[in-house]
Structures are given as C-alpha cells and as structure tokens.
Structure 1
C-alpha cells in the first residue's frame, strides 16, 4: 500500500522511458511523506488502441491512486497536485493528465501477510 496505477496512451512511452515515468510517480509519492517508501507500488498500463479522450484518440495519462484510509483531504489534494505537476513537466504537450485518489478501508483490506 499505496498503489499508483498509471493508464496512458502508448505514444507516451515514445516520449519517455516507462521506468522514468514510474520513478517520477514513485518519487512524488515518497516525497509526500504519507507512506513508507518500501510500501509504494507503481504500475503502468499503456493503451495502443481501444481508447477515446473527448471522442478522439488523444494522448493521455491518468493515475489511479489507491491508498489506505486515514489521510486528510488536504494531504490527498497535495499528493494529487504534486503528481500532476511532475507529469505536466515531463509531458508539457500532452493535453490530458489527471489523477484520482481512492481510499482503501482498513477493515476490509487484506494481504498475504495478514492471513
């Protein structure tokens, strides 16, 4: 925990190496001081086809963040702003860059070590 899943158009990977994108999101999450670095997980899902943005095949980046409940709205807003700002700097010509943050419920979350 937390999980940052990056959906993007395939063209994004022609601009920057996947590892650079993953590292940038990881570093932003780590710099937030909301998580232990060893717990941060970042994945990338490029879409070569079968996507539309505003009814067209436009380039995009969308980060889906899933974090354990307990952070304030302000903390989550700062995290989302920092991640979008870093991606905006990396990809100044990409028209759609966004993030949303969802909370995991502690009572229902389980991982291998908890069972």
Structure 2
C-alpha cells in the first residue's frame, strides 16, 4: 500500500509524459513518510471521453487507496504532498485533484504469485 491511481484527460499527453505524472505522485507518497519505497504502487489511465460540466477542460485526478488506520492529519499531509509534487509539472489549463480513500484491513486480500 498505497495504490495510487492517476486518471487524466488524454490531451495532457501533448505536453506531459505519463512517467512525469507517475513520478510526481510517487515522490509525494514517498515524502509523506507513511510508506516504504517498495510498497508504493502507482499507475495512470488516460481518458479519451469524459464530461465535467458544459466546457471540456483538462483534468488530473489522483485516488490514493490506503489501508485503514491513518488519522486525518496523515491523510491531509499525504494528499497535500502529492498535490505539491503535481504542481511542479507545467500543465496546460488543468484541474488537478487528489483524494485519499481507505480500504478496510479486514476485507483486503493479497497474494504474491
């Protein structure tokens, strides 16, 4: 943990490499001090089709899934550090958002195959 999922509008690909997004989110999560390097999993998904109101505007939205047990200050720090790292990227007019979502430890399952 965490699973960092970056969703973004595909027009961002014209000016920003997906690897830049992935690295910025990874660096923010690492700087939080909440996770070990090898536990941070980051991936991105570009969207061709989307609508947010009547004006089509570029977006980046990061969902950070973490196991339950962190307090609100830790979660706020995490989202702010990720947002801070993303702000270092020169996006065209883009709405950038970050949310932290808890996964119940009791229902989470994993296996290495």
Equivalent residue, structure 2, for 1:87 = 86
Structure 2's unaligned 5+ residue stretches are none
Aligned pair count?
A: 112
Q: Cα RMSD between the aligned structures? A: 1.4
Hey, what's the Cα distance between the residues in 1 that align with 2:78 and 2:91? 19
**8 Å Cα contact 1:53/1:60 also seen in 2:** no
Matches within 5 A, 1:7-86: 7-48=7-48, 50-86=49-85
Which digits, 9 at most, give the CA deviation of each residue in 1:46-91, with x for residues without a partner? 012x201223221000001100111110011011111112212213
Question: TM-score when scaled to structure 2?
Answer: 0.91
Which digits, 9 at most, give the CA deviation of each residue in 1:6-57, with x for residues without a partner? 1101111221211121011111101111011101111101012x20122322
Question: TM-score when scaled to structure 1?
Answer: 0.89
Equivalent residue, structure 1, for 2:111 = 112
